Structure 1
Amino acid sequence: MFSDLFKKLLYASGALGLYHRVRNARTLTVIMFHRVLEPTDARWAHCDPDYTLRADLFTSCLEFFAAHYNMVTADDVVRARRGEHELPPRALLVTFDDGWSDNVDHALPRMRALQAPGLMFVVSDAVGRDEPFYQERIIGAWRRGRLDGRVLAQALRRHGVQAPEPSDTGAAALRLLIAQVEQLAPEKRKALLAEIAEPLADPLRHMITADELRTLDEGGIAIGLHGKTHTPMTSAPDLDAELGGARAEMAARMPHRPAPVTMSFPHGRFDPAIAERARSAGYELVFTSVPVVNSTDSKVGWLLGRLGFETGAVADASGRFRPDLLALYLFRRPRRLLA
């Protein structure tokens, strides 16, 4: 209780804000969101709670950003990287990963209301597809009581994986099994998912459509790429397709816009050689999941860190927004120039 009170007083006194204004004057903070949903939306029961923010908390985050940062567009960052202008002090860019349709329904109206720009990284092959990625389908089936860890572990063992019996029925044990599914060869994974297709079946549409891409673009949300298939770049069988191929597909879908020059790495996985391959494929800004604030002391780097957070970083146990928690999390992140 004392610790909580101290955090609130530290924020209310303005001391945290002053610290931030001095320490982070010449930085670019990039925020990473995934899904934004209302609990009344049918998709709420299907989503992965670790990657989903309640819509009212999302609004509170935007208001916090507006109070403590200067929100910038993706084009602002590209132009600063080219040396065409400087970013304002304490610049902040809002980004979204994957290409979820709920970003159009719930995030976009709130961003428009606050005139907040953003950038969405879209998985090219997921555009126009109803079902989410298999990891989210597994989590969704578990949340709806249609699949448990024991069934998934049994399926893994049938495919030669030494998957132990889950010690409990919680999310942590399930995520360990999902990590083993990710390690399967593509054909084995496809066969395993086919075996449990019935509990994984999801009648809702989760992914963005081509029309919604245009809606986002017209609403001030720039479009970047998040790979072609959502496969981690470090294990992609065709890296050219994941990088240049995805970029060409998006350019064809949005002929009124130049080909995207921004991308982020699916699952945050990359190495220096892959990052350089991304530059060679035409991406001027490459976004990682390295949790740092980007220094702009000398220049804007082409390889950028991003800060993501779960609900516990912005709300208390009762679900109320806590600006002091968000300030303590964001203002103190390491400052680095990744490249």
Structure 2
Amino acid sequence: MVADLVKRALYRSGLLGLYHRIRNRRALTVIMFHRVLASADPRWASCDPDYTLEAGLFERCLQFFRRHYTIVSSDQVLAARRHGIPLPDRALLITFDDGWADNHAHALPLLRAAGIPALLFTVADVVDREEAFFQEQLVAGFRLGRIQVPALAAALADAGHALPVAPADSLEGLRMAIARLETLRPAERRQVLAPFDDAMGDGVRQMLTRDELLELAGSGVAIGVHGKTHVPMTRAGDLQAELATARAIVARHLGSVAPPTLSYPHGRYDDTVLARTRDAGYELAFTSDPVMNSVEGRPSWLLGRLGFEQAGIVDGAGRFRPDFLALYLFRAPRERLAA
């Protein structure tokens, strides 16, 4: 109780804001979102709660960003990188990963109403696709009561991919099974999941259509690339496809030049991936490294991002707590990830 009162007091007094204005003046904060859903949306009951923000809370976050930062577009960050045009103090860029249809349905109207730009990274192969990634399909099946984690663990064991410990029938247990599935080759994974095909997903369209992608692009949301298939690039069988081919596919969807921005699926990259990213023509690459980016001089071409779960910005009654968000964002480490 005392700690909670101290957090509120630090924020309401303006001391946290003053600390931020001084400490983070020459930093670029990049925010990483995934899904935004209204609680009345049928997808709310089946989404992954760790990667989903309720639309009203998303709107409160936008208000928080406008109060404490200067929100910039990806074009401004590119101009700073290309031409040395300084970014404003306490710059902040909003990004979305994957290519979810709810970004169009719920996030875009709120961004438009606030006059805020953003950058959305889409997986090239999911545009116009109905189903979500296998991880989210499993979460949906579990949350709707159609999949039990012990049964999934047994299927893994029967296929020779047993988990080291028996997982609980919970979201945490499911994530253990998903992590094991992510290490399998696609054919192996399909074999394990075949008995669960009818139970996976929720039957609602999940991914962006081309028309929705074009509307986003015409409404202040720049479009970048998130790989071709969503496989971690450190495990990609065809890195050229995940980088250069994906860039060409997204360009065709947009009917425009190839996007100059990329975010790494699952946040995974290594030295080889970094070198191939530059070779494929990307000018900015975004990681999941939880840092603010120093922008003394030109910003780096490799940028960290700060993501957060809904549970981290609300109190026990589900009320938005700007002090929680401030304490997380304002104190994040500052780094320059590359030259």
1-side partners of 2:317 and 2:282: how far apart? 42
Cα offset for 1:168? 2.3
Is residue 313 from structure 1 mapped to residue 286 from structure 2 by the alignment?
no
Is residue 212 from structure 1 mapped to residue 212 from structure 2 by the alignment?
yes
Gaps spanning 5+ residues in structure 2: where?
Answer: none
Counterpart residue number, 2:60: 60
CA deviation vs aligned residue, 1:17-54 (integer Å, no higher than 9, x gap): 00000000001000000000011100111210000000
1-side partners of 2:271 and 2:335: how far apart? 16
The answer (yes or no) to whether the contact 2:154–2:162 under 8 Å persists in 1 is no
Gaps spanning 5+ residues in structure 1: where?
Answer: none
Q: TM-score by structure 2 length?
A: 0.98
Counterpart residue number, 2:155: 155
The answer (yes or no) to whether the contact 1:128–1:210 under 8 Å persists in 2 is yes
RMSD: 1.0
User: Aligned AA for 2:253?
Assistant: R
- Secondary structure of the structure 2 residue equivalent to 1:231: coil
Cα offset for 1:202? 3.0
1-side partners of 2:252 and 2:218: how far apart? 17
1-side partners of 2:57 and 2:309: how far apart? 11
The answer (yes or no) to whether the contact 2:32–2:96 under 8 Å persists in 1 is yes
User: Aligned AA for 1:326?
Assistant: L
- The sequence identity of aligned pairs, in percent, is 54
Counterpart residue number, 1:4: 4
2-side partners of 1:327 and 1:333: how far apart? 10
User: Aligned AA for 2:89?
Assistant: P
How many residue pairs get matched? 338
Alignment of structure 1 residues 209-288 onto 2, 5 Å: 209-255=209-255, 257-288=256-287
The answer (yes or no) to whether the contact 1:153–1:164 under 8 Å persists in 2 is no
2-side partners of 1:124 and 1:299: how far apart? 29
Cα offset for 1:165? 6.1
CA deviation vs aligned residue, 1:90-113 (integer Å, no higher than 9, x gap): 000000000000000100000111
Counterpart residue number, 1:28: 28
Is residue 104 from structure 1 mapped to residue 111 from structure 2 by the alignment?
no
- Secondary structure of the structure 2 residue equivalent to 1:253: helix
Counterpart residue number, 2:129: 129
The answer (yes or no) to whether the contact 1:263–1:283 under 8 Å persists in 2 is yes
- Secondary structure of the structure 2 residue equivalent to 1:65: helix
- Secondary structure of the structure 1 residue equivalent to 2:75: helix
The answer (yes or no) to whether the contact 1:153–1:165 under 8 Å persists in 2 is no
Is residue 16 from structure 1 mapped to residue 13 from structure 2 by the alignment?
no
Q: TM-score by structure 1 length?
A: 0.98
- Secondary structure of the structure 2 residue equivalent to 1:45: coil
Cα offset for 1:167? 4.4
1-side partners of 2:79 and 2:112: how far apart? 23
Of residues 60-69 and 201-210 in structure 1, the stretch that sits farther from structure 2 once superposed is 201-210
Counterpart residue number, 1:195: 195
The answer (yes or no) to whether the contact 1:98–1:123 under 8 Å persists in 2 is yes
- Secondary structure of the structure 2 residue equivalent to 1:263: strand
2-side partners of 1:159 and 1:286: how far apart? 37
Runs ≥4 residues deviating over 4 A: none
Is residue 298 from structure 1 mapped to residue 324 from structure 2 by the alignment?
no
Summarize the Cα distance change of 1:252–1:64 in structure 2 as closer, same or farther, 3 Å threshold: same
- Secondary structure of the structure 1 residue equivalent to 2:58: helix
Cα offset for 1:148? 1.0
Counterpart residue number, 2:331: 332
User: Aligned AA for 2:140?
Assistant: G
User: Aligned AA for 2:295?
Assistant: T
